[in-house]
A and B are shown apart, each in its own frame.
Chain A
Amino acid sequence: MINDNSPYFNPEYECLSREEIEQLQLERLQKTVRHCMNSPFYKKRFEEMHLKPEDIKTLADIRKLPFTTKQDLRDTYPFGIASVPLRQCVRLHSSSGTTGNPTVILHTQKDLDEWANQVARNLWMVGLRPDDVFQNSSGYGMFTGGLGFQYGAEKLGMLTVPAAAGNSLRQIKFITDFGTTALHAVPSYVTRLYEVMQANGVDPRKDTKLKVLAIGAEPHSEEQRQRIEQMLGVKAYNSFGMSEMCGPGVGFECQEQNGLHFWEDYYIVEIVDPETLEPVPDGEIGEMVLTTLCREAMPLLRYRTRDLTRVLGRTCPCGRNHVRLDRMRGRSDDMIVLRGVNIFPIQIEKILMQFPELASNYLITLTTDDDNDNMTVVVELEELFTDDFQRLMDLEKRIKHALKDEILLTPHIKLVPKGSLPVSEGKAVRVVDKRKVYQ
């Protein structure tokens, strides 16, 4: 067991020099590519490209490898990308698949152990130790933020409270009764908890032992982070995860709070121009492309995350030389991330089209109101079928409920006359993002 005084959970990996990291990456990449030949999907793709695992001789040769997209995961649904027989897999996480086939990610026991190790490494990095009490207010089940943090926090050795999402009063009771020192939640939920604490006379600085927050899964600005830190009197660290890579654990801020360390012993990080797919220089914003280096069940080569970010640096005063990336700056596709939920505009469109009362134009507006991120869907009325207010408001309500069933969030609905929304020439603008993080 690591000594509590050690700043590192995996000192042998966290403190590698750049040269050592790159050597390790090359060795692991070669192994991964060979292993991928057990995947029917990659085997076929390599054959089509006349590519052999032996062609990867240097780290730069990664550019010879094909990209993998979310569409590839859908096309091979459910198990077509796997590089091991199902018998060796012990866990499956799946997306909801509302925009087509869901995406399925498989894990062997070793994959789960490595995943837990990454999360434990992150939590240790921000000062958590086995004496701490970790409360996870993230959804459990298919959402990887639940089980991901659970196993990671347990691996570190903390008392871990699987509070799951929602029921703020109960969350606060857990925090005060169990002496919770660290909490994981989406930033908008932290704000909500604070409001409920205030309404119930709980002073987070006096009545709780909270000191560390892990926040992630939805875009937030530096300003929002600082506000959360001031509200609760804690340090809040930005967490990055995506189910395709395992879940949370992929990247995390160290105590410098100057970018997220992405673990380069587990992943190769490329930042590319989303149009040309050519690499962009450090400091420039591009799409993050990740290659897994330790996965058994489902290694992914050059997976296009669609998240936009940039390299801030490759060294850090904390002693870790794993690349530091900026907080996510947006998406190179039209996916919306709101309160930890991923939404594609096409999902909303599909529902709206089921209402004959509505015209085909619509606009999704995202705003930050009093620290909460909200979605308003503006829809046009096709025909005034009634002049009874009640029936018009019922229509708004029906649209709201139908959308909630689809996207799992309740948007505001704004009914406007036909022709009120701007008609764009060329590609229609469907989403206006006025949230603070993008300003």
Chain B
Amino acid sequence: MTIKQLSIFIENKSGTLIKVLDKLSKAGIQIIASTVADTKDFGIYRVLCDKPLQAYLLLKEEGINIQLTDVIALSIDDTPGMAAQAVNKISLSGVNILYLYSFLWKGRGVLVFRTDDNDKAIEVITLNKMTALSEIDFNV
């Protein structure tokens, strides 16, 4: 099971992030987790929210460079070593993780990541009896 993440292309310069956040807030979109990754020139703002498709269409209409990306949100125990264990299992299968971030959700840890082969990653997750969250799990 993968979930939809907003990936927004932004210029690495002051004022660009607030423009995006403003629009999301006005549309009543609830942000669950977000992270900015950047190079010298540009950045990608990655957002998990409660209504990804609606947010995507809204920002797209505004002419913003945006993509809906399939990511995996893995639910793990909030105890030391759990993230390492999960990542280790995926890596052993030969799947490459392109990026990863994490947050706490209702007392449990969530690892969000994109891989170069999401299908295979899901297979590994199922085989190891780990839980990948679906969008419905984030409904507020």
Task: Find residues 388-425 in chain A having any chain B CB closer than 8 Å to their own CB.
Answer: 388-390, 392-393, 414-420
> Which candidate, A122-130, A179-187, A265-273, A377-385, is the interface stretch facing chain B?
A377-385
Cα(A388)–Cα(B37), bound, Å? 10
Beyond the given A381-B65, A388-B114, A418-B63, could you list 16 further A-B residue pairs with CB under 8 A, ordered by the A residue number?
A383-B65, A384-B7, A384-B67, A387-B67, A389-B37, A390-B98, A392-B44, A393-B39, A414-B42, A415-B41, A416-B11, A417-B9, A417-B10, A417-B42, A417-B65, A420-B11
Residue from A387, A415, A416, A420 in contact with B114 in the complex, judged by beta carbons closer than 8 Å: A387
- CB of A384 within 8 A of CB of B63, answer no
Residue in A387, A389, A418 whose CB lies within 8 Å of B39: A389
| A420 CB contacts on chain B under 8 angstroms | 11
Q: Please, what's the 1-or-0 string for B52-73, where 1 marks a CB less than 8 Å from any CB in chain A?
A: 0000000000011111010000
Interface size on B, residues (CB 8 A): 22
Is the CB of A386 closer than 8 A to any CB of chain B? yes
Evaluate contact between A415 and B44: CB separation under 8 angstroms.
no
Bound CA span A389–B98, Å: 9
**Residues B8 and A384 in contact, CB atoms below 8 Å apart:** yes
26 cross-chain CB contacts under 8 A: A384-B7, A384-B65, A384-B66, A385-B67, A386-B67, A387-B5, A387-B7, A387-B44, A387-B46, A387-B67, A388-B98, A388-B114, A389-B37, A389-B99, A390-B98, A392-B44, A393-B39, A414-B42, A416-B11, A416-B41, A417-B11, A417-B16, A418-B64, A418-B65, A419-B64, A420-B11
Q: Is the interface of A mostly helix, strand, loop or mixed?
A: loop
CB interface residues, A 148-175, toward B, < 8 Å:
none
**CA of A386 to CA of B11 in the docked complex: distance in angstroms?**
16
Question: Quick one: which of A381, A390, A393, A414 contacts B9, CB cutoff 8 A?
Answer: A381
Q: How far is the CA of A414 from the CA of B7 in the complex (A)?
A: 19
Contact call A419/B63, Cβ cutoff below 8 A: yes
Number of A-B contacts (CB under 8 A): 49
B41 touches which of A383, A386, A414, A418 (Cβ 8 Å): A414
CB distance from A309 to the nearest CB of B (A): 37
Chain B residues whose CB sits within 8 angstroms of the CB of A386 once the complex forms: 67
The CA of A392 and the CA of B41, in the complex, are separated in Å by: 11
Residue numbers in A under 8 Å from B66 (CB-CB)? 384
Contact A392–B42 (Cβ < 8 Å) = yes
Of residues A387, A388, A414, which shows the largest number of chain B Cβ atoms within 10 Å of its Cβ?
A: A387
Cα distance, A390 to B8, chains bound together (Å) = 15
**Measured between alpha carbons, how far is A318 from B39 in the docked complex, in Å?**
56
Give chain A residues whose Cβ lies under 8 Å from the Cβ of B8: 384
Chain A residues, Cβ within 8 Å of B42: 392, 414-417
* Complexed CA–CA distance, A389 and B7 (Å): 11
Considering the complex, which residues of chain B in the window 79-114 have a beta carbon less than 8 Å from any beta carbon of chain A?
98-99, 114
Task: Output the residue of B8, B10, B41, B98 with the most chain A CB within 10 A.
Answer: B41
A387–B36 Cα distance when bound, in Å, is 12
Give, as a whole number of angstroms, the nearest-CB distance from A157 to chain B. Answer: 52
Closest to B16 in A: A417
Nearest CB on A from B3, distance (A):
14
Task: Please give the distance in Å from A379's CB to the nearest CB on chain B.
Answer: 11
Least CB distance, B21 to chain A, in whole angstroms:
15
Task: Give min CB distance, A389 to chain B, whole Å.
Answer: 7
A391: nearest chain-B partner, CB-CB: B98
Determine the chain B residues whose CB is within 8 A of the CB of A418 once the complex forms. 63-65
Q: Which A residues lie within 8 Å of B44 (CB)?
A: 387, 389, 392
Question: Known interface pairs A414-B41, A416-B41, A417-B11. Does A387 touch B69 (Cβ–Cβ under 8 Å)?
Answer: yes
How near does chain B come to A62, taking the closest CB pair, in angstroms?
Answer: 52
CA distance A419 to B90 in the complex (A): 39
